[in-house]
Amino acid sequence: MNNKYIAPEKYLKSFTCPHCQTLSLMHFDSHHFQEDTNESFSSKTPIKNTLYIARCCNCGKKIVWIDNEYIYPNIIAEEVNPDLPESVKQLYNEAGLIYNQSPRAACALLRLAIDRLCNELGETDRDINKNIGALVEKGLPKKVQQALDFVRVVGNKAVHPGVIAFDVDDTNTAKTLMRLINMIGQSMITEPKEIDEMYGLLPDSTKESIDRRDSK
Ligand SMILES: [Zn+2]
């Protein structure tokens, strides 16, 4: 589960299997088929399609494309940071299930998730720009803010959470937003938690070394 995530792509020798979440070798097969021309359909020329099936060498399940369109199964892009608040994880996972089919809906959910995450981190301004700015002052890397700006979460053309920006919301934007949510979680929740845990360990180990020294 911890190996690097590689998104499924047609004819890529190995990628992260959306079924078993393992970076596995893929065996590809393709079939050409022709659609029956429907009388009511304006085009008189037969439609030729190609069906691509990748078979995962680890779990044996199939991943399907028709021509250039990814079809099956739904993909969660990058595993959600487990330290994120439940409400944020829910929005993230929901977006992860639909971003291939409905990138715009996924981006709207992810902007909501970022808004929710800011609130959970104590930044409750209605302006997400101000909230992210406050997080930067608390230690969020400036680069994350710049990246959020780039995908129009906090910039001049900011879209209010839940409002759909039709021109930019594609699968790449969705993937970027997911990565950024994980990065905010990493720097604002996971890392402080790990440092706290290390501090928590200090007194015991200090006591032990004192005990050892005193028993000599
Ligand atoms: Zn698999």
Q: Residues 170-200: pLDDT tens digits? A: 888 888 899 999 999 999 999 999 988 877 7
Task: For helices 171-185 and 86-98, give the axis angle rounded to 10 degrees.
Answer: 160
Whether the predicted pLDDT of 157 surpasses 50? yes
Task: Tell me the CA–centroid distance for residue 49 and ligand 1, in Å.
Answer: 25
**Distance, C-alpha 198 to centroid of its chain:** 28
Task: Tell me the CA–centroid distance for residue 77 and ligand 1, in Å.
Answer: 15
Whether the predicted pLDDT of 85 surpasses 90? yes
Task: Tell me the CA–centroid distance for residue 169 and ligand 1, in Å.
Answer: 29
pLDDT of residue 161: 61
Check residues 112 and 20 and name the one with the higher pLDDT: 112
Task: Tell me the CA–centroid distance for residue 19 and ligand 1, in Å.
Answer: 5
CA 97 to CA 75: how far, in whole Å? 6
Average predicted confidence (pLDDT) for the chain? 84
CA 180 to CA 183: how far, in whole Å? 5
Which of 54, 46, 13 lies closest to 30 in space, CA to CA? 54
Q: Sorting pLDDT into bands at 50, 70 and 90, what band is 123?
A: very high
Token pair of 132, please? 């992210």
* 160 within 8 A of 127, measured Cβ to Cβ: no
Whether the predicted pLDDT of 36 surpasses 60? yes
Which of 155, 144, 146 lies closest to 121 in space, CA to CA? 144
Task: Tell me the CA–centroid distance for residue 17 and ligand 1, in Å.
Answer: 5
Token pair of 180, please? 């950024």
pLDDT of residue 155: 65
Task: Tell me the CA–centroid distance for residue 75 and ligand 1, in Å.
Answer: 12
Which of 119, 75, 109 lies closest to 89 in space, CA to CA? 109
Task: Tell me the CA–centroid distance for residue 92 and ligand 1, in Å.
Answer: 22
Q: Are strands 47-56 and 14-16 parallel, antiparallel or unpaired?
A: unpaired
* 185 within 8 A of 117, measured Cβ to Cβ: yes
Enumerate the β-bridge partners of residue 48. Answer: 34
Enumerate the β-bridge partners of residue 200. Answer: none
Task: Tell me the CA–centroid distance for residue 54 and ligand 1, in Å.
Answer: 10
